[in-house]
Amino acid sequence: MTTNAKATGPLIGYARVSTDDQETQLQIDALNAAGCSRIFIDKASGKNTERPELVAALDYLRSGDSLCVWKLDRFARSLIDLVTLVDGLSQRGIGFKVITGALANIDPGTADGRLMLQVVGAMAEFERSLIKERTKAGLEAAKAQGRTGGRPTVITDDKLTVAKVRKAKGESVSAIAKALGVSRATLYRHLGEP
């Protein structure tokens, strides 16, 4: 992870709250005090919801600008998300500043700041590896218990027997599928026909 952006342009702020009931005023005040010339504000959960104002802020930023956030949890959904976003800013020549909390006052344009972001990047890579390992172990455990992923089949042995008998009598696959309440594709797959 490399961050060589030297901020020379304006400081652009980004604030986010998870619900409409929460207030952004604390973040806005802090971003204004930091000298942000423009502030983008999202009112959406960071985990599962699109953040249109973050997208707009990232689109608005130009090389030499800096993105400023109040705290990391208002900006990134996870460590992996943080590293991805900061890498993207760095590649575009955009600085990054956190006002309070983790990584506060660390300048990614300095050697110390780059070191901290590289440590965070290594932690994110470690997190990715752990997620992959846990997922693989979970799938293997489920398979050992006879469970496989995907939707359960809608064709029972009885339905398949009925379908084969009706097909042998010359009935169309469409009519059989409709009568059994399954799709034609499903029926074709179980009958072994293209």
User: Catalytic residue numbers?
Assistant: 18
The DSSP output letter for 93 is T
Whether the CB-CB separation of 5 and 109 falls below 8 Å is answered with: yes
The DSSP output letter for 72 is G
Phi, psi of 77 (to 5 degrees): -80, -30
The one-letter amino acid at 133: E
Question: Residue 97: enclosing H or E segment and its boundaries?
Answer: strand 95-98
Q: How many CB atoms lie within 10 A of CB 89?
A: 20
The DSSP output letter for 37 is S
Q: Whole-angstrom Cα distance, residue 76 to residue 39?
A: 17
Q: How many CA atoms lie within 13 A of 75 on its CB side?
A: 31
Q: Which residues contact 115 (CB under 8 A, 6 or more apart)?
A: none
The DSSP output letter for 74 is G
